[in-house]
Amino acid sequence: MKATIFQGVGKVELQERPKPTIQETTDAVVRVVRSCVCGSDLWYFRGHSEHKVGPIGHEFIGVVEEVGSQVKDIKQGNFVISPFAFSDGTCPNCTHGFHTACLHGGFFGSGDEGMGCQAEYVRVPQAAGTLVVVPGSNYSDEVLASLLTLSDVMGTGYHAAVSAEVKVGDTVAVVGDGAVGLAGVLSAKLLGARRIVAFSRNKDRQKLALEFGATDIIAERGQAAIEAIKKLTEGIGVDAVLECVGTGEASDTSFAIARAGAIVGRVGVPHEVEIDAAGTFYRNVGMRGGPAPVRAYMDALLPAVLEGRINPGKVFDFVTNLDGIADAYSAMDERRAIKSLLLVS
């Protein structure tokens, strides 16, 4: 099969690899229909995070080819969404809703053979707990793109909003205009926020943020951005902050614009971030978030997509196939694209 292999900083390559097979009785093998490139793949591509040489990619939807003998509820031929992390769904961490901390779980796309998702086939461990069957068939390209976002970005943006405890009527700020930030805007809207402030200096992303429900755009950064929020909120700050970047500047801005008692919901993987313990203490500002348990949000988000209440697939603005994988990465690396979609089969 064809699989994308991370070769080192700035280099991904399509290679012929053995098609994965069932190794544990709890495994499934899925034929990939759509995959994509993630903002977190760029951290590796740019050399900001370590990744071993090997298969990469962690977001996909597809059709079940084969299941192990212990996998009961998932059948050959099922059309499925896979979260970016696999999980058994039964351990205490899963039952508390934190599937990314599953005691028998792990992550796709970390370099293990057969488990990179920018490929024709993927081996899925803990298939019964991990995969979500999508009812029906013959979905449009538009719906397929939205279903694919439930594998990561939409669930991750939603996790930022849930972690920040966005409530009906809130004023919410979303720091970050990548696919996750835009999904965060959509999530804040879904949870009933009244005013949603999106941070972006890019015209296309501003446009999509407004379409997803943003009411205000702030193009400034750093101190100027903090002052702009203060002006919008009569000096108080916002009720909830979604931090969807992970840099020190994004984190500093997020904590500075939170009102007393607000929570910063963070889903950007922290890179050189320091949290001010005393500053957050005196203002009672909270912090939650981490790797999104997107599996926990399927019950809320899958019907929203299938009923057409949300259309998060609009974050894909670059489409290619596996042969175009190098372009898919460079389009995002050069910020020519918000997110690259891969048509696999």
**Closest distance between Zn ion and the C-beta of residue 178, in Å?**
10
Phi first, then psi, for residue 147 (nearest 5°) are -60, -40
Out of 32, 67, 102, 273, name the contact with Zn ion by CB under 5 A: 102
**Closest distance between Zn ion and the C-beta of residue 270, in Å?**
16
Helix (H, G, I), strand (E, B) or coil at 31: strand
**Closest distance between Zn ion and the C-beta of residue 99, in Å?**
6
> According to CB under 5 A, which residues from 42 to 61 bind Zn ion?
none
H/E element, 13: strand 11-16
Task: Tell whether residue 191 is a contact of Zn ion (CB under 5 A).
Answer: no
**Closest distance between Zn ion and the C-beta of residue 59, in Å?**
5
Task: Tell whether residue 87 is a contact of Zn ion (CB under 5 A).
Answer: yes
H/E element, 298: helix 298-306
Task: Tell whether residue 130 is a contact of Zn ion (CB under 5 A).
Answer: no
Closest to Zn ion by CB, 88 vs 252, is 88
Stretch that binds Zn ion, among 33-41, 62-70, 167-175, 230-238 (CB under 5 A): 33-41
Closest to Zn ion by CB, 102 vs 160, is 102
Task: Tell whether residue 152 is a contact of Zn ion (CB under 5 A).
Answer: yes
**Closest distance between Zn ion and the C-beta of residue 181, in Å?**
13
Alpha carbon 279 to its chain centroid, in Å, reads 29
Long-range contacts of 42-49 (CB under 8 A, 24+ apart): 42/329, 42/332, 42/333, 43/269, 43/271, 44/6, 45/6, 45/9, 45/10, 45/12, 45/329, 45/333, 46/9, 46/10, 46/333, 47/9, 47/10, 48/271, 49/269, 49/271
Task: Tell whether residue 38 is a contact of Zn ion (CB under 5 A).
Answer: yes
Task: Tell whether residue 170 is a contact of Zn ion (CB under 5 A).
Answer: no
Residues of the shown chain interacting with Zn ion in the complex, contacts defined by CB under 5 A: 38, 87-88, 91, 94, 102, 152
